[in-house]
Amino acid sequence: MYDVIIIGGGIVGTSIARELSRYNSNILLLEKNIDVSMGSTKANSGIVHGGYAENHNLLKGRLCYQGRKKFKRLDKELNFGFRETGSLVISTEDNREPLDKLMENGIKNGLDDLSVIDGEDIRKLESELNHDAKWALYCKGAGVCSPYEMAIAMAENAIKNGVTLELENEVISIEKLDNGFNIITNKGEYHGKYVVNAAGLYADKISKMVGVDNFEILPRSGEYILFTRGTGDQINTVNFQLPTKLGKGVLVTSTYYGNLLIGPDANDDTEKGDTSTHIERIANIYNQAKAVYSNINPKQFIRSFTGIRARSSTDDFIIEETKVKGFINVAGIQSPGLTASPAIAEMVIEILKESGLKLEENPNFDPYRKPIVTKKPLKNFAEIKDKIELPLGAEGRIVCRCEQVLEEEIVDALHRDIKVKTIDGVKRRTRATMGWCQGDFCRSRVAEVMEREYGEKIDPSYDIEHSGVNRVQKSELLDYLNSLEE
């Protein structure tokens, strides 16, 4: 019997698993998908929020900054990619009072790195933005990270420290036993003393399996546009627009790897599994971002994507032991859930202790996880051409020319504690197929390496992210924008 069974392998579930691996306990992490980080985590902006936006009276307001403070240490231990950039909430109005109120709320949440700055100081930080900004709330410690790499790193380190991961195990039902729970999945049955429900968009469904139905998950979709690597290099901070009566606006930021990212919008009229993008919404995001940062070139578009946020009917995080003793809900973890995830994990540990779980620290716990890839400047094609043309298995061979991913890096990703069954799984670990051509050149080359290493046939056309999903492509956006100008 497991001491704790965690349902859900997103950033919250993997963070809880890794935190529990500090102790001498028998932990199981169940995930219904073919890999970890396959839900909201992989379609996330990657913003490490300051912690000033959410009301102090809400749990998500109190946990955001507590989580944010842990990112530097976690990145040093796990090497998932975090950069402290600072953030700006920009106002074009003369009245700075809304920003003062945001700062006041941030101070209540514990922040000590906030200031309201004027247009001159804004331009010192962001010289390339459109220059009608009057005031901005500046948060020094906000930043960006690679969210799916963070979840993968959490899972790898948790497994290294004794956690069991079972993928492709969808929970069908849960039976309450005298000494715990029996969880039935499509693959088998698992017994555990405690259950942590971190099932994201489906947390309400899981909760109802034990008769707890005091909330609903109301999906909210947000669409984004991602541009080629290097397009974000002129952006130094995460840039938000101050909400007005006309709307909240969209963010303009550079990703951890230097891609320009704009979005998201927000739409409550969506289904939990629909991650399609729509031309009208994508064009609206583009035009809103263009009003803030005019140097956006739509020809550098490489991908649109949608994230579905697990908004709860309570409009707050739900982190509590339920009326069913031993069953803990960790639900409604929408933004700033990524930022808060380390603090959420610590809170869950305390709930488990208070519920009676005996936790003894593991003296052999190893917090370190070596990186698969590290951020490095891209070389020009002439410098790498010979390495691209090397045969399979040659030392120094480059498989992905856009992101300059080495064959040895792909091999490393394939032989860690989580079997990588798809090319998309390799992408999230190495960035292969994530560049300008989106895998047109290297997808078959990645499959070739996988087949050699695993001795199994790999379908290079299989893309779980595109299964039944329609996404706006660059040509469609260009045609639509041209039609608006005619």
The model's confidence at residue 465, banded by pLDDT at 50, 70 and 90, is low
- Mean pLDDT within 92-111: 96
Tell me what the mean pLDDT of segment 335-362 comes to. 97
Nearest to 261 by CA among 241, 233, 219, 291: 233
Distance (Å, rounded) from C-alpha 24 to C-alpha 179?
A: 19
Q: What is the DSSP string of 161-211?
A: TT-EEE-S--EEEEEEETTEEEEEESS-EEEEEEEEE--GGGHHHHHHTTT
What is the pLDDT at residue 461?
74
* Helices within 395-464 (DSSP H only): 407-414, 423-430, 443-454
Question: What residues contact residue 68 under an 8 Å CB cut-off, 6+ apart?
Answer: 48, 49, 50, 51, 141, 142, 339, 340
Catalytic-role residue among 49, 191, 415, 466: 49
Averaged pLDDT of the chain: 95
Across 100-114, 140-154, 204-218, 243-257, least confident range: 243-257
CB 284 within 8 A of CB 265: yes
Confidence of residue 84 (pLDDT cuts 50, 70, 90): very high
Average pLDDT on 241-270 reads 87
- pLDDT for position 459: 83
- In CATH, what is the architecture of 1-84+142-216+313-371? 3-Layer(bba) Sandwich (3.50)
Q: Which of 118, 315, 309 is nearest to 200 (CA)?
A: 309
pLDDT tens per residue, range 231-244: 999 999 999 998 76
Confidence band of 247 (pLDDT split at 50, 70, 90):
low
Contact 345, 198 (CB under 8 A): no
Query: How far are the Cα atoms of 119, 397, 434 from residue 36, in angstroms, in the given order?
Result: 43, 28, 18
Interval 131-142 mean pLDDT:
95
Report d(CA 477, CA 138) in Å as an integer: 33
Edge to edge, the sheet with strand 251-254 lists: 114-118, 135-139, 87-91, 238-241, 251-254, 259-263, 217-229, 301-312
pLDDT value at 464 more than 70: no
Tokens of 87: 């953030």
Please, are residues 182 and 217 in contact by the beta-carbon 8 Å criterion? no
pLDDT digits (tens, 9 = 90+) for 143-175: 999 999 999 999 999 999 999 999 999 999 999
pLDDT of residue 177: 96
Which amino acid is present at 358? Answer: K
Contact in structure between 156 and 417 (CB atoms under 8 Å): yes
pLDDT class for 249, splitting at 50, 70, 90? confident
**pLDDT confidence of 31, banded at 50, 70, 90?**
very high
Q: Which of 9, 469, 350 is nearest to 200 (CA)?
A: 9
Q: What is the predicted pLDDT for the residue at 244?
A: 60
Token pair recorded at residue 378:
């891209």
CA distance 79 to 152: 11
* pLDDT value of residue 469: 83
CATH: 1.10.150.80, 1.20.1260.10, 2.120.10.30, 3.30.9.10. Which one for 85-141+219-307? 3.30.9.10
Question: Quick one: average pLDDT of 297-321?
Answer: 96
CA 246 to centroid of chain Cα atoms = 28
pTM of the model: 0.97
Tell me what pLDDT residue 466 has.
56
Active site residue 191: no
* % of the chain beyond a pLDDT of 70: 98
Mean pLDDT calculated for residue range 302-316: 96
Q: pLDDT tens-digit profile of 355-375? A: 999 999 999 999 999 999 999
Say whether pLDDT at 254 is over 60.
yes
Give domain limits for the chain.
1-84+142-216+313-371, 85-141+219-307, 381-455
